[in-house]
Amino acid sequence: MQPNPILGVFLHWLGGLASASFYVPYRKVQGWSWETYWLAGGIVSWIIAPWVMASLFSKDLLAVLGQAPGSVLWWCFFFGLLWGFGGLTFGLTMRYLGLSLGMAVALGYTAVFGTLIPPIFRGQFGSLLHQRSGIVILTGVGVCVLGIVFAGLAGVSKERELSVEQQKADIPEFNLRLGLAVATFCGIMSACFAFGLAAGDPIKLLSLEHGTSVMFQGLPVLIVVLTGGFTTNFIWCMILNIRNKSFGEYLKIPAGQPAASSLPINYVLCAVAGFTWYLQFFFYSMGETQMGKKYGFSSWTLHMASIIIFSTLWGIALHEWRGVGRRTKTLVFLTLLVLVSSTAIVGYGNLLSTR
């Protein structure tokens, strides 16, 4: 199948929209501790959705996973395990920085490490500098980083302009220093997801050999990587359930919560959030196939840029930038403009490589 970078960029935008939107249903959950709703949604996103979608869209799923070399399964699982630490702290990043700034900082680190490390490890980075398409793609990565810098500056500008009371009105636990520290750790560990996907290349080949469409070859890999991520998150949420004595929340809304609190509604909201989260990598795996094998690593930049674009738009819709001055609004606008440009540049570089 001939790669189609334009379609690939569109699919990555869909993945970015899903990722930027998944936390919105969590904001409506009432009466549950963070660890409770995080695990309830995570079971859907890390276990149920990957198996269901891979079973529907790939061929001979169990046979493919059974034939995969043990070392390949291990590295996919291990990188997923490390990514799990990023997933854990990602939720904390949202709590302390909000949707727009939190995603921008965390995903900034993830974009750089997740994009550049795989081609460096494979010995491909040097060749990128000697080809026009490679130079264009690296330029797009650089533009993406610039957009992330603008997002960070917008957050700093916001903190300086608003009082503590104004900051906490829309983000109750806003804490810039703690949030930036958590986001840094989160971003670096989250890049391990890209390493897990790269380690799963042999599984993709097996899936193709069994008749799976090129578009869906990456779905079996997601099962293994996300199992690793589930392991980390499950252990930590269990620790918090024990420490905070919140096990009972899975069966009953604690007393003293708002009258509108409902156990079934909480589970529905978490299921929607979890499935929406999974869709980001469902579309990512399809988009990656359209960017061409040579420059498939650039998909990670497109994914990160798209997430930040839509999370920034969500932040605007949820009034996280309410009350800021012209300087901050300008930086937010530049963030969106530069990141959209970065996706266009990376897409164009991939288009050049197909000609």
Q: What is the mean pLDDT of residues 168-180?
A: 67
Contact 309, 17 (CB under 8 A): no
Predicted TM-score (pTM) of the model is 0.80
How far apart are alpha carbons 161 and 158 in whole angstroms? 5
- The pLDDT confidence band at residue 209, using thresholds 50, 70 and 90, is very high
Q: What is the mean pLDDT of residues 69-89?
A: 92
Contact 15, 284 (CB under 8 A): yes
How far apart are alpha carbons 36 and 32 in whole angstroms? 6
Tell me the average pLDDT of the chain. Answer: 83
Helix (H, G, I), strand (E, B) or coil at 212: coil
Report CA dihedral (48, 277, 80, 90) to the nearest 10 degrees: -130
Tell which wins on pLDDT, 268 or 149.
268
Q: What is the largest CA-CA distance in the chain?
A: 65
Q: State pLDDT tens for residues 301-324.
A: 788 788 878 877 887 887 777 777
Q: State pLDDT tens for residues 102-115.
A: 666 777 777 777 77
Give me the pLDDT at residue 317, please: 82
pLDDT at residue 122 tops 90? no
Give me the pLDDT at residue 171, please: 60
Report CA dihedral (65, 304, 309, 133) to the nearest 10 degrees: -110
